[in-house]
Amino acid sequence: MDSIPVGGRTATADQPLRCAVFLSGSGSGMEALVQAQRTRTLPHQTVVVVANKSDIKGLERAQRLGVPTLVVEQRHEGLTLSREEHEAEILRKMADYDVELVVLSGYMRLLSPLFLSDWANRVVNIHPSFLPHFPGAHAHRDVLASQTTITGCTVHLVDEGMDTGAILAQRPVPVFTDDNEATLSARVKVEEHRLYPQVLTWIAEGRVHLIDGRVSVVDVEGQQVG
């Protein structure tokens, strides 16, 4: 069987896995991740925040936290970049930070096959539903419209599809009859902010592998738990 480690290397708190957080919006997930990394001495570190928009709150949050930021908009120097050109510019600027893992947190662009080929098994995302149910940009709206009683959040590897990559971990969240998108989003975010640092820790500790295309997670004693 072929066993491929997710993340590339085993890290420690002294030599943490170097992460770039990609975002397009408020950055609340990024802020929660950075705070967890700093207060709990985790084996991963956010070394740069990458945004595809210049007028977003996520950049303000990163700057308050003292995390370096890169802004690469699709409209660049009077030209509209193709997806591949846009990503090439991101990677060119990101090279200065020795990034090892790309962490998507509300990044509202699909990555190209070329990007994902170069960063195979080193791009993760968190999605605000219990995948494979309710993928896409309007998960909370779709959950409420379905009248389901359970949703959740999912951390997954990123592939070429829309929220279709291999699932690494999930947490369920109840849906209440009086919920709206704001209340549901707030409750899901609580679990997102707990789950993402945990999964990144598993990755940094070398405990997440792809075995014949399926995810395997082992505990600290080397026993398979997922």
Enzyme catalytic residues: 127
Give the DSSP letter string of the chain.
--EEESSSS---SSSPEEEEEEESS--HHHHHHHHHHHHHT-SEEEEEEEES-SS-HHHHHHHHHT--EEE--SEETTEE--HHHHHHHHHHHHGGGT--EEEESS--SPPPHHHHHHTTT-EEEEESS-TTSS-STTHHHHHHHHT-SEEEEEEEE--SSSS-SPEEEEEEEE--TT--HHHHHHHHHHHHHHHHHHHHHHHHTT-EEEETTEEEEB-TTS-B--
Q: What are residue 215's DSSP bridge partners?
A: 210
Q: Which of 208, 216, 199 is nearest to 154 (CA)?
A: 199
User: Cβ of 111: how many Cβ atoms within 10 Å?
Assistant: 20
Q: Cα-flanking dihedrals φ and ψ of residue 219, to 5°?
A: -85, 180
